[in-house]
């Protein structure tokens, strides 16, 4: 369905540090870098883009993007990396039966206020 996603961020270099750390346990890395844009993916793909934007931290719901992990350990590692780089916990890493019988995931706010979810298992 999707070709790529992009987010506007207030501080591109701070966002790069955050997403470098978040994506490393998931097997993704920076695949494109220019003065005013960055992209992440695997094997040279450019699936997730960051661009600098003016303005305050996102109010309300902001964006909600979920990234699939391949194991509970990847969820845990990405969650801890996100916290170490300024994330705020909305839902700690773990099994959340209220979402689904085998849903294991975490939800954080990135430094710009976007909801970032890391998940393995079915939601419903």
Q: What's the rounded Cα separation, in Å, for the pair 33 and 55?
A: 22
Residue ranges per domain, the chain? 5-53+62-120
Query: How many CA atoms does the CB half-sphere of 117 hold within 13 Å?
Result: 15
E-strand ranges in 3-114 read 5-9, 29-34, 37-41, 48-52, 64-68, 88-95, 104-109
* pLDDT of 124 higher than 50: no
Check residues 103 and 58 and name the one with the higher pLDDT. Answer: 103
Q: Are strands 115-120 and 64-68 parallel, antiparallel or unpaired?
A: parallel
| Predicted local distance difference test score (pLDDT) of residue 8 | 87
pLDDT digits (tens, 9 = 90+) for 5-39: 998 898 999 999 999 999 999 999 999 999 899 99
5-53+62-120 to CATH, choices 2.40.160.20, 3.40.50.300, 3.40.50.970, 3.10.180.10: 3.10.180.10
pTM as predicted:
0.86
């Amino acid at each position: 369905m999707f070709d790529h996603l992009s987010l506007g961020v207030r501080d591109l270099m701070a966002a790069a540090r955050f997403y470098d750390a978040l994506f490393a346990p998931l097997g993704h890395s920076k695949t494109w870098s220019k003065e005013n844009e960055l992209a992440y993916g695997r094997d040279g793909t450019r699936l997730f883009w960051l661009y600098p934007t003016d303005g305050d931290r996102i109010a309300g719901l902001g964006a909600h993007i979920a990234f699939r992990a391949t194991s509970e350990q990847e969820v845990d590692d990405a969650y801890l990396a996100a916290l170490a780089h300024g994330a705020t916990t909305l839902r700690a890493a773990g099994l959340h039966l209220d979402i689904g019988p085998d849903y294991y995931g975490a939800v954080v706010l990135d430094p710009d206020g976007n909801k970032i979810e890391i998940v393995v298992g079915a939601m419903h």
